[in-house]
Amino acid sequence: MKPRPDKSRWRSEGPSTPACSSDRVDVWRVRLDQPASPAQANNVLSPDELARANRFHFERDRLHFVRCRTALRFLLGRYLGIPALEIRLEYQTSGKPELAAKQNLRRLRFNVSHSADLALIAVSADHRLGIDIENIRADVDIAMLSERFFSARERASLQALPQNLQLQAFFACWTRKEAFLKATGDGLSFPLSDFTVSTHPERSPELEEIRGDTEVAHWFLADLSPKNGYRATVAVEGLPASVETYRWN
């Protein structure tokens, strides 16, 4: 049986010097409606990050970016034992950030997702991982979006569920697919209809099928409940022993 995280317990403080191991995933919840101070951001963010922040048209988006990237740098610095300002990020062709190889002697992997006023940062070692969080909205066109982005098997599973479960099931399926896609690093070059995840919102998530691939069992998915009105999933290559959840203060 796959290990399941405690979906309700988000501890207020993580270890001051966290150990990063390949059999554990740490997920940090960051409130984006509590922006970092300008002085703190200037002392932590790189010049290109500050320039990117200043390009946002809306102040809310700028503050969310600064808050999230500041938290990410502090967390990575804590895991690596170096100052946050010294963190060096590189970008894959898909745009996914990663630590510079010369700096990453602990083989750290991380991924970030944000929606509305919350962000999640997942950290582990060695294995590819992805995370997705979504604010549940009742105004989504489930039929149209599932027809466009879900596999035939997912659509059939979704339609077979009772009406009162379909909104939660849609977002469960969406976050599971996005987390896996982000873990692969392939972005939109990996068609969303070419793989299938489970859709039932109250059962453990599974990667059920990848077209032309028999390596489904090599992926682990775990659902998370960061806050009422949100759904989230973390996907990891391999089978971690545990998923630990923390609140970033």
The domains of the chain are located at: 24-127+239-248, 133-237
Element holding 27 (H helix, E strand): strand 24-31
CATH number 3.40.640.10 given to 24-127+239-248: no
As a whole number of angstroms, the distance between CA 200 and CA 238 comes to 22
113 forms beta bridges with 120
Question: Which residues, in sequence order, are CB contacts of 9 under 8 Å at separation 6+?
Answer: 245
Q: Give the span between the Cα atoms of 24 and 125, in whole angstroms.
A: 8
Tokens representing 118 are: 């919350």
The answer to whether 24-127+239-248 and 133-237 have equal CATH topology is yes
CATH superfamily of the 133-237 domain: 4'-phosphopantetheinyl transferase domain (3.90.470.20)
The lowest-confidence range among 6-20, 73-87, 96-110, 186-200 is 6-20
Q: What is the pTM of this model?
A: 0.91
pLDDT at 35: 65
- Report whether pLDDT(19) > 70: no
